[in-house]
Amino acid sequence: MYSTLQRLNHYGSISTTFVMVLLGLISLASFCTLPAIKNGTVTVNDVIVRHGRMNGWGPPEEIVNVRFDMRTDLTPLLHSYNTKQLFMYLTATYTDDVSGDTHEVVLWDRIITRNKIKDFRSTGDSVARKNRSPRPKIRIDDVKNKYVWRNPSRSFKNIHNANMTLSYHLMPYVGLLTSGVAATAQGMVEIPALVKR
């Protein structure tokens, strides 16, 4: 005869096994049915190279300020039953002509949680607000880079263009972290000469 404690232990181990198998099946099903995302656009409105200081101190160096618009549709990702949150980030990839080194810099990022999809409705003028796309189509207008864009050599003299890419990391409730590209700039973005004041 089994004691009450042994029976509870037996039921606990069986229920834990069932839950783990169920979570494994959900993870596998989510990974196998990942939706495809149409590639959106990143439009760069303004690029300015100026002198500045990191954190307000240190030697002056060249810093790039960027203003850009983004359009992409992440509806399939955010309407999945297993999506917890989406991490989006805009990167600039460029090559130094002299050293040949390739650099990738994060300029902007944002986390969209499943319960805050309304956070990414279209912005801009009143006409754009009236013709708002259904959520969560992302429309961002005239945004500045969130992080300082600087070069390790402290100068952009040998860098003439960069490629802008909006990427994402999808964090599920259960399963593997997946990533992809949500939007790209049409062609290379030209980096102008230093603005002297």
Q: Do 99 and 183 belong together in one domain?
A: yes
pLDDT-derived band at 125, boundaries 50, 70, 90: very low
In a domain, 178, yes or no: yes
Q: Do 111 and 185 belong together in one domain?
A: yes
Q: Do 92 and 161 belong together in one domain?
A: yes
Which tops the pLDDT comparison, 191 or 126?
Answer: 191
The whole-angstrom separation of Cα 111 and Cα 169 is 10
- Domain that includes residue 2, residue range: 1-33
Does a cis peptide bond (omega within 30 degrees of 0) precede residue 152? Answer: no
The full 3-state SS of 41-58, as one line of letters, equals EEEEEEEEEEEECHHHCC
Q: Do 149 and 118 belong together in one domain?
A: yes
Q: Do 135 and 180 belong together in one domain?
A: yes
- Kindly tell me the sign of the dihedral angle through the C-alpha atoms of 142, 53, 149, 118: negative
pLDDT at residue 33, as a whole number: 77
Is the predicted pLDDT of residue 163 greater than 80, yes or no? Answer: yes
Is the predicted pLDDT of residue 152 greater than 90, yes or no? Answer: no
> In 3-state terms, what secondary structure has residue 114?
helix
The tens digit of pLDDT for each residue in 170-196 reads: 898 888 888 889 888 988 888 888 776
Q: Do 1 and 90 belong together in one domain?
A: no
Q: What is the mean pLDDT of residues 28-38?
A: 79
